[in-house]
Structure 1
Amino acid sequence: MSARHFDRGRMRGVRRAAEISQAEAAAALGVADSTVAGWETGLAIPDAEKLPALARVLKRGLDDLFPRTGLPDLTDLRCDAGYYQYETAELIGTKSAGPVAGAERGERRLKDKYVPDLAAAYGVSTEELRRAEDRSIAKAQETQSGEPESQDADAVPAALAGPPGTLAEKITLILERSYPGQQGPPTDAEIAGAVNAHAGSQVISEEGVRELRTGAVETAAPVVLEGLAAFFGVSSMYFQPDDAVARQVYEGLRLLSASRKGAVGRVKGRGMGAQGLPANVMEFVNDLVTELEEREPEANE
């Protein structure tokens, strides 16, 4: 799960700036005064299900006050909608929350009949709900295997279960797979600065990048997409709706990830049907895999 970050100091500062007392915040949330005090002193942290209501009380956006890196799984969507797991039984018309609990654990998929009602309650599309479900399942598989990749020769890391579809997924894929080590990926502010420098003017803010990365905003102006492509070093077509280039970049990142784990043989380029990778791209990927395989013994000597 890509949990939201709770910063007690930031919460306290925002509350004071809004001139809202701890007692007023507690009353609005239906909790004791001591509970809010405990959150701000670090004695406890609020349930993830409480964060949306807390953000509303403090008159701030959820992503702004409690940011999250990465894309949400099913548990994240539920928490962002402010529901506890036991409350989902009523949402889908069942006697227990078992169907949702099982899906959140990645044990089984939701039945089709439950999806529309649950998506509506969470304030997302059915497609977004299914994508979040895929992430829950991928996380469960990774946990069971004890490593990002299974032993299947054709397996890929959980985060690379398929080519990215949305703009948020395209950005997240690059951030997760192109910045290894302690340095980590660039911040939203750094990305915004680079895009603005490329454009020669202020075309996006730090908050704007965050909204694109988290999926709060699904589209961006061409000049922003061009700046993102230039900053990340990918084709400008990668961020376009046509997913042909996205599949090519996905295959390259898939290879890059495996090469860093010494498992390049698991990701040799394969055709993907009528909409598959072009023959020249597949040839390039396979040649690169072979070259990396030949180098692996040298690295282990």
Structure 2
Amino acid sequence: MLILRYRYMDESPMWAAHHLPLKEAVKVLEKTYDIQVTVAKNAKEEPLSRSKKLSYKAIFQGKYRARTFLASIITATQSMQYFAVGFYIPTISTLIFGKGMIYAIIGTLFFNLFGIIGGFTQSRLTEQVGIRKLAITGYTICSLSLVLMGLTGDTHFIALPILFIALFIFGQSFGPGAQGMTMATLSYPTELRGLGSGWGQGTTRIGSILGFYLFPVVLSIGGIYTTFLVLTIVPVIGLIATILIKWEPIGTDVEKEDKQGFESNKSFSKKSEVYH
């Protein structure tokens, strides 16, 4: 992966314009958008700005505070619910279908097909629907699936738990599972994007640790179906947060927003026009 990224990926044109020499930034711009760039005669050769060391408090100031809270909740809750259920699908499959390696394998393959469908579906709808609405829809599906699984899973109708777990995996991939890091990345301008995505990765790991730890503990105490009911709290928290915090990065040009308020006692230098 590192070799492929080094060979085929460039920095973003916006980042290149701020941090690379002009000639290198032009090459990135031309390659990224497949266009011919004419550099203004009075353009300066040095980058627009030098790299500044920013602390994480930058993404908790001004208008970025609510965005960071929303991204944190989505990344943490989606990770927690997925690793609590998704990672233990082989175990859950044996509890539903019967003990044996073959049941674990078949169940895992079957349920993850719905994850593939959900992932491809959301990728086609993100630009039209938006990250926030997809996350709300996914959380709703996950919450209902876990509740219904917990209430009806111990019946004699084996089709019910199969259906509800499949719906949960679909809802996870369709909604918060795909939108967490997208929200954490697209909510900030270039100067803060690294901090935002790094913070999102950190909260994702916190959620995965809690999911790994809490699921088997609750499972050993209350059984599989009680565990599903308890786990419903997680997507409900994500659903409430996503409904209350009305932020949608799709369709918003965060690069042109007023940056006042995200860096204390300092102001970023104004961007000058480089390309014509």
Q: TM-score range by the shorter chain?
A: under 0.3
Higher relative contact order (CA 8 A, sep 6+): 2
Q: Could you state the TM-score of these two structures normalised by the residue count of structure 1?
A: 0.25
Q: Could you state the TM-score of these two structures normalised by the residue count of structure 2?
A: 0.26
User: Greater helix percent: which structure?
Assistant: 2
